[in-house]
Chain A
Amino acid sequence: MIDDPAIQVRNLSVHYGKVAALRNVSAVVPRNMITAVIGPSGCGKTTLLKSMNRLLEIYGDVKVTGEVIVDGVNVYGDDVEVTELRRKVGLITQTPNPLPMSIYDNVAYGPKIHGNGGTEKLNQLVEHCLRSAGLWDEVEDRLKEPAANLSIGQQQRLNLARVLSVEPEVLLCDEPTSSLDPVSAGRIEELLRRLSVDYTIIMVTHTLRQARRLSDYAVFMYMGELVEQCYADKFFQEPEDPRTREYIEGIYG
């Protein structure tokens, strides 16, 4: 079993109004590995992800019961500072969503609001993050240009750099390559693989092939319920649940 999990989910249920998106989900996420969350569309993968950094609450009418434990603390407890949680548990969205600012400011936004000011420090941090995201060489001489001018592959790497700048421990990735062309997608995958040494990565993916390529640990969701979770090699070769087996064999999905 997993000792020292990065995140534990216990009996988590999420309701949008009357509709149940997640039903009594319990899962464990190992530290510093890539965990793939797999399942057919609408099974609750994104909801599970967004419940971990409490992003669900910015939408009205969402009810969450159960616990999500990060570093021993239930993030849905009282007295939890949400902004700090979201810094620790970062989210990379499917579409890049550049902020309406320059490239530099996009990356500097996070550190600035969390109070890591100081121009010299910021400059170094921005460069470091852009390098980690593999974008530095392409933008180092146009940092003041609008981020919206970048290509979509570049914007997604900017997205990555931006999340890294707040120095998170966990990276939630919501189908990070599905809007990208194969070349850019490949680069992102390579970056994630490299980052998984230092960060816990939870990745929602809708392609089994990507999951096979990247994951160390896998979680299978179906219709709002967690069906099976285990290490990747076991998952793909000898899954226990028949539903998992059928999905892997491509019978549905």
Chain B
Amino acid sequence: MDRGRVDRYSYRVMRGLTLVSVSLVFVIASMLFLKSLPILRSVFILDLLFDSSWFPLRGEFGFYPFIVGTTVVTVTVMALACPVCVLSAIYLSEYASPRVRGVVKPLIDLLAGIPSVIFGLWGVSYVVPVVRDRVAPWFDASTTGYCVLSAGVVLAIMVFPIIISVSEEVLRAVPFESRESSLVLGATRWETVKHVVMRRASTGILSAVLLGFSRAFGETMAVLMVVGNTAQVPGSLFEAGYTLPSLIANNYGEMMSLPLYDSALMFAALTLMVLVGGFSLLARVTQRRITRWTS
């Protein structure tokens, strides 16, 4: 039957596309690994990862500043974003009137679509001066404003929409009966949220946070514009830093001009991929533990 043939062929085509697509993960990882081999062969891997001196001209490729930079920025982002986002999500799901929700939710969706350069523009023109002139003096520090903290603030705003919208969905998905059983015992709404709703929603909120985390980890443009791009291990939040994505973005043009430089940058990309992947894995394992723990 002609129809049967259409069905069978389309099945094969679709399946083929799927297989090719998912194998991409391995293709990309292998390719990056292959291109990293030169530098992995010439420098011992632990030195590569933990050495702090980055002088490509002298052939020194210590990635430690970048790994620390990326981690510190991401941790800052999470520290700033998580409380704000979770609280906002709780408010939107449990307390806000439909009118407030109808205004705030579209605004958050709008935030989600804004390209990262725009965040960078805002960072340069607003966040950097504020950090330099208002925040740092308060802590008795002096900075140009182009520092890890600025990057953290800008990125935090960038991940707000993801974490808030997923968390809010998760919270609303908790069935009304659960809330009911707490309220009829005389608990306040907040206590209900604290003890009942959050417990049911905790894995979902964790995945929301992790989604935000991976977005922040890999973000290039906005960070590049405000983080200072200095290859040092930042001693404080007010010092300039350098992240792995910004490293790659800033230097890919000169890759071919110095020996091992291209291999080093590909190794940076590979490290980035491994770190993000590793974190997702950790996330899934923790999620499973939490589900077992709360059920």
Contacts and interface: CB of A to CB of B under 8 A. Distances in A.
Real complex partners, A and B?
yes
A113 interface: yes
Interface residues of B, number: 3
Contacts of B4: 81, 83
B6 to A, nearest CB: 11
Interface string B1-42: 101100000000000000000000000000000000000000
Nearest to A113: B3
Interface in A107-136: 113, 115
Contacts of A83: 1, 3-4
Nearest to A114: B3
**Contact size range, A:** under 10
Nearest to A84: B1
Contacts of A81: 1, 4
Contacts of B1: 81, 83
Contacts of A113: 3
Interface string B128-161: 0000000000000000000000000000000000
A113 B2 CA distance: 11
Interface string A68-83: 0000000000000101
Interface in A84-121: 113, 115
Interface string A35-66: 00000000000000000000000000000000
A81 B3 CA distance: 11
A115 B1 CA distance: 11
Interface string B187-223: 0000000000000000000000000000000000000
B7 to A, nearest CB: 9
B2 to A, nearest CB: 8
Nearest to A81: B1
A65 B207 CA distance: 43
B11 to A, nearest CB: 15
Nearest to B7: A83
A170 to B, nearest CB: 21
B220 to A, nearest CB: 41
B201 to A, nearest CB: 29
A83 B3 CA distance: 10
A114 B1 CA distance: 11
A161 to B, nearest CB: 23
B77 to A, nearest CB: 41
A83 B6 CA distance: 13
B192 to A, nearest CB: 35
A98 B1 CA distance: 28
A54 to B, nearest CB: 15
Interface in A201-215: none
A83 B1 CA distance: 10
A113 B3 CA distance: 8
A81 B1 CA distance: 9
Nearest to B1: A81
Interface string A189-225: 0000000000000000000000000000000000000
Interface in A130-155: none
B242 to A, nearest CB: 51
A40 B4 CA distance: 39
Contacts of B3: 83, 113, 115
A81 B5 CA distance: 12
A240 B4 CA distance: 47
A115 B4 CA distance: 13
A78 to B, nearest CB: 14
Interface in A161-209: none
A115 B2 CA distance: 10
A28 B276 CA distance: 62
B116 to A, nearest CB: 37
A32 B183 CA distance: 59
B28 to A, nearest CB: 33
A115 B6 CA distance: 14
A148 B1 CA distance: 33
Contacts of A115: 3
A49 B4 CA distance: 25
B246 to A, nearest CB: 47
A175 to B, nearest CB: 28
A81 B4 CA distance: 9
A115 B3 CA distance: 9
B211 to A, nearest CB: 29
A148 B3 CA distance: 28
7 contacts: A81-B1, A81-B4, A83-B1, A83-B3, A83-B4, A113-B3, A115-B3
Per CB-CB distance, the 7 closest pairs between chain A and chain B, nearest first, are: A81-B1, A83-B3, A113-B3, A81-B4, A83-B4, A83-B1, A115-B3
